[in-house]
Amino acid sequence: MEKTKTLLLLLTSSIILFKLYLFPPTQSHEDLKAEPDELELTNLNNNHTWPLLYAKDVVSLNGKNFSEFMGKNRNVMVMFYANWCYWSKKLAPEFAAAAKMLKGEADLVMVDAYLEKDLAKEYNILAYPTLYLFVAGVRQFQFFGERTRDVISAWVREKMTLGTYSITTTDEAERILTVESKLVLGFLHDLEGMESEELAAASKLHSDVNFYQTTSADVAEFFHIHPKSKRPALIFLHLEAGKATPFRHQFTRLAIANFVTHTKHPLVVTLTIHNAQFVFQDPRKQLWLFAPAYGSDKVILTFEEVAKALKGKLLHVYVEMNSEGVGRRVSQEFGVSGNAPRVIAYSARDAKKYVLNGELTLSSIKSFGEEFLEDKLLNQSDQISETILKLPSQSRASYQLRTHE
């Protein structure tokens, strides 16, 4: 008799567990912490159109628009789900509520990983739902916390304030270049530890510059750090100015922070195809130095001294006058020929130029700039062709940087 009861109990338990597996329990009003319109969700849990209920707050991505969206938005949390998954349905309203809380700070999106198999394979999605935070198009963190709106939003904000993000492949590096105008990269022994902590501490003093770290020699080389450089190494990339400036000091937070301070706002902008549009659209009055890349060290240093004296008053631009591409073209448009350095004042407002005649000394260039600021240049001006204002652009993934020691 006892054996019969035991067998019946086991059989009954098995039937109950099997039913729960096939038909998971619907969510309660309390479990969802539902807003008025969320009550409708409970009755639609078995409807395969349930993701459409969150379209107002959460963007749905697929293989066709995923990369484009990531390239345009810096902080993106992705919920990889399956349409038929009970736990995906359970998370959806909380995820949408978190999206509302993070509006203007980060984007929350959903991807049906069961249908988008290529994306699921690329990001190794083995369970539903899986949540990742992407920064500048690169997957950085996986979320394992309590699946509520408050915890999700707090976690995203915490990760956004870390300061440093890791790059492990050159594919990730290329994605980052599509969204950054300037960045700092540390080539470290390890992604955790003292070096990483010093870099992270320095990053918190520069909220307008994003800091990255890598241990990959291939990534380091991609960003113009020699792959066999002594670690830790660091470089500042100013993509709009076309400059790569290596760090040559002790690897401490204070030294790094001071280096970034002095590097991110260059006294003289070197004109490149990447920053030409920014330069010509800048409303400030501008002082231009046209000089060959070699043999002009003295006049370039003099021009930088003038830039220090007039810092914030004029935009100072240097053009490598006989370099291929934009330097040669702009020199022709400004009427500069030969190898002799020339200084020209340029007004973007009316596209007029004023030429400094005579010897290029610290005193003469500085006086010329001051007179330009005060509208005292009464000599005849020339109109600059508008064609230089419409220079072609290039993909940042194929950029060329001039390294400044």
Radius of gyration of the chain (CA): 29
CB 129 within 8 A of CB 80: yes
| Residue 40 pLDDT greater than 50, yes or no | no
pLDDT at 274: 67
Across the range 216-221, mean pLDDT stands at: 94
pLDDT at 67 over 60: yes
What's the rounded Cα separation, in Å, for the pair 187 and 234? 6
Per-residue pLDDT averaged across 18-23, rounded? Answer: 44
pLDDT score of 386 more than 50: no
326-372 pLDDT tens trace: 888 888 888 888 889 999 998 877 778 889 988 999 999 999 999 99
Contact 166, 135 (CB under 8 A): no
How does strand 285-291 pair with strand 315-320?
Answer: parallel
**CB half-sphere exposure, 263, CA atoms < 13 A:** 27
- HSE-CB at 305 with a 13 A cutoff on CA atoms is 14
Residue 35 in this model has a pLDDT that exceeds 90: no
**What is the average per-residue pLDDT within 42-60?**
70
- What is the reported pLDDT for 30? 33
Q: Model confidence at 12, in pLDDT bands (50, 70, 90)?
A: low
Query: In the predicted model, what is the mean pLDDT of residues 103-121?
Result: 94
Q: Could you tell me which CATH class the domain 165-266 is placed in?
A: alpha beta
Please check whether the domain covering 31-161 is classified as CATH 3.40.30.10.
yes
Looking at per-residue pLDDT, the higher value among 211 and 312 belongs to 211
Output the six-digit token pair for 269.
Answer: 């902008």
Please say if the pLDDT value at position 391 is more than 50.
no
pLDDT for residue 240: 64
Whole-number pLDDT of residue 5:
54
- Fold agreement (31-161, 165-266): yes
Strands 75-81 and 130-135, bridge-based pairing: antiparallel
Is 237 or 20 the better-scoring residue by pLDDT?
237
State yes or no: cis peptide before 93, omega within 30 of 0: no
Question: The pTM is what?
Answer: 0.53
Domain 269-390 CATH class label: alpha beta
pLDDT at 381 over 70: no
Write down the pLDDT at residue 19: 46
Residue 404 has pLDDT above 60, yes or no: no
In this prediction, residues 201-209 reach a mean pLDDT of: 85
Interval 36-55 mean pLDDT: 57
When pLDDT is cut at 50, 70 and 90, the band that residue 265 belongs to is confident
Let me know: does 150 contact 200? Beta carbons within 8 Å: no
Q: What is the pLDDT of residues 126-145, one digit of tens each?
A: 999 999 999 888 888 899 99
User: In this structure, are strands 130-135 and 315-320 parallel, antiparallel, or unpaired?
Assistant: unpaired
More confidently predicted of 148 and 335 = 148
Residue 239 Cα to chain centre, angstroms: 11
**Both ends of the chain: CA-CA distance in Å?**
90
Q: Which residue has the higher pLDDT, 316 or 351?
A: 316
Q: Where are the domains of the chain?
A: 31-161, 165-266, 269-390
Percent of the chain's residues with pLDDT above 70: 80
Q: How confident is the model at residue 118 (pLDDT cuts 50, 70, 90)?
A: very high
Place of tokens 């003292």: 194
The predicted-structure confidence for 266-275, as pLDDT tens digits, reads as follows 788 888 776 7
Structure confidence by residue, pLDDT tens digits, 284-301:
899 999 998 888 889 999
User: Residue 238's pLDDT is what?
Assistant: 82
Integer Cα distance of 398 and 73 in angstroms:
20
Q: 399 or 366: which carries more pLDDT confidence?
A: 366
Residue 196 has pLDDT above 90, yes or no: yes
CA 56/CA 100 separation, integer angstroms: 10
